[in-house]
Chains A and B, each alone.
Chain A
Amino acid sequence: MAHHHHIHADLPPDPALRVKALESLLTEKGLVDPATIDAWIEAYESKIGPHNGAKVVAKAWVDPAYKQLLLSDGTKAVAALDLLGQQGQHIVALENTPDLHNLVVCTLCSCYPLPLLGLPPVWYKAAPYRSRAALDPRGVLREFGLELPEHVKIRVWDSTAEIRYLVVPERPAGTEHLSEAQLAALVTRDSMIGVAKVKAP
Chain B
Amino acid sequence: MNGIHDMGGMHGHGPVEHEKDEPVFHAPWEARMLGLRRGATFPPEVNLDRWRHIRELIPPHLYLSRSYYDHWCMTYTAALLHSGWVTAEEIKSGHAAPGSAKRNDAMRPDEVWPAQKTRGIFTRAVETTPLFAIGQRVRARDINPTGHTRLPRYVRGRVGIVRLHHGGHVLPDTNAHGEGEAPQHLYTVAFAMRELWGADASPHDEICADLWESYLEPA
Interface of A toward B, CB cutoff 8 Å: 1-5, 7-8, 10-11, 15-16, 18-26, 28-33, 35-41, 43-45, 48-49, 84-90, 92, 105, 107-110, 115, 118-119, 121-123, 125-135, 137-138, 140, 143-144, 153-163, 195
B10: which A residues are within 8 A, CB to CB?
127, 131-132, 135
Partner of B102, one of A30, A88, A156: A30
Q: Are A32 and B36 in contact (CB under 8 A)?
A: yes
* B44 within 8 Å of A (CB atoms): no
Partner of A15, one of B64, B66, B95, B204: B66
Q: Which 9 A-B residue pairings sit nearest by Cβ, starting from the closest?
A: A37-B35, A21-B94, A107-B8, A161-B210, A134-B8, A30-B103, A127-B13, A32-B40, A131-B10
Which of A28, A40, A123, A144 meets B95, CB within 8 Å? A28
Whether B208 lies near A8 (C-beta < 8 A) is no
Docked Cα-Cα span, A2 to B54, in Å, equals 9
Smallest beta-carbon distance B28→chain A, Å: 8
Complexed CA–CA distance, A88 and B58 (Å): 26
Across the interface, B7 reaches (CB within 8 A) one of A2, A25, A90, A107, namely A107
Return the contact of A140 from the options B16, B102, B113 (Cβ within 8 A): B16
Q: How far is the CA of A1 from the CA of B18 in the complex (A)?
A: 35
C-alpha gap A44/B120 in the complex (Å): 17
Please report the C-alpha to C-alpha distance between residue A96 and residue B84 in the assembled complex, in whole angstroms: 49
- Do the beta carbons of B94 and A24 come within 8 Å of each other? yes
Determine how close the nearest CB of chain A comes to the CB of B13; give it in whole angstroms: 4
B102 and A135 form a contact (CB under 8 A) = no
**Which residues on A sit within 8 Å (CB–CB) of B95?**
24-25, 28
User: A3-B82, A126-B68, A157-B207 known; 13 other A-B pairs, CB under 8 Å?
Assistant: A3-B78, A11-B91, A32-B40, A36-B106, A36-B107, A37-B40, A40-B35, A40-B112, A130-B7, A132-B11, A161-B169, A162-B170, A195-B18
Are B29 and A16 in contact, with the CB atoms below 8 A? yes
What is the distance, in angstroms, from A50's C-beta to the closest C-beta of chain B? 11
* B150 partner residues in chain A, CB cutoff 8 A: 108, 160-161
Interface residues on B, range: 35 or more
Give the shortest distance, in Å, between B137 (CB) and chain A (any CB).
18
Which of the residues B7, B77, B88, B170 comes within 8 Å of A131, measured between beta carbons?
B7
Q: CB-CB < 8 A to A157: which residues of B?
A: 188, 207-208
Bound-state CA distance A126–B58 (Å) is 15
A122 and B19 contacting across the interface, CB-CB below 8 Å: yes
Say if the beta carbon of B9 comes within 8 Å of chain A.
yes
- The answer to whether A30 and B68 touch across the interface, beta carbons within 8 angstroms, is no
B217 CB within 8 Å of chain A: no
Residue of A nearest to B188 (CB): A163
Instruction: Specify which of B13, B34, B41, B120 is in contact with A40 (CB 8 Å cutoff).
Output: B34
Tell me the nearest residue of chain B to A101, going by C-beta.
B205
Q: Is the CB of A137 within 8 A of B205?
A: yes
A107 and B152 in contact, given A28-B96, A86-B115 (Cβ under 8 angstroms) = yes
A-B contact pairs, 30 of them (CB 8 A): A1-B82, A3-B78, A4-B57, A7-B81, A8-B59, A18-B73, A20-B29, A26-B41, A28-B102, A29-B86, A30-B104, A32-B39, A35-B109, A37-B35, A38-B109, A48-B116, A90-B121, A108-B152, A109-B52, A123-B19, A126-B13, A126-B17, A128-B14, A128-B16, A131-B13, A143-B18, A156-B206, A158-B152, A161-B169, A162-B122
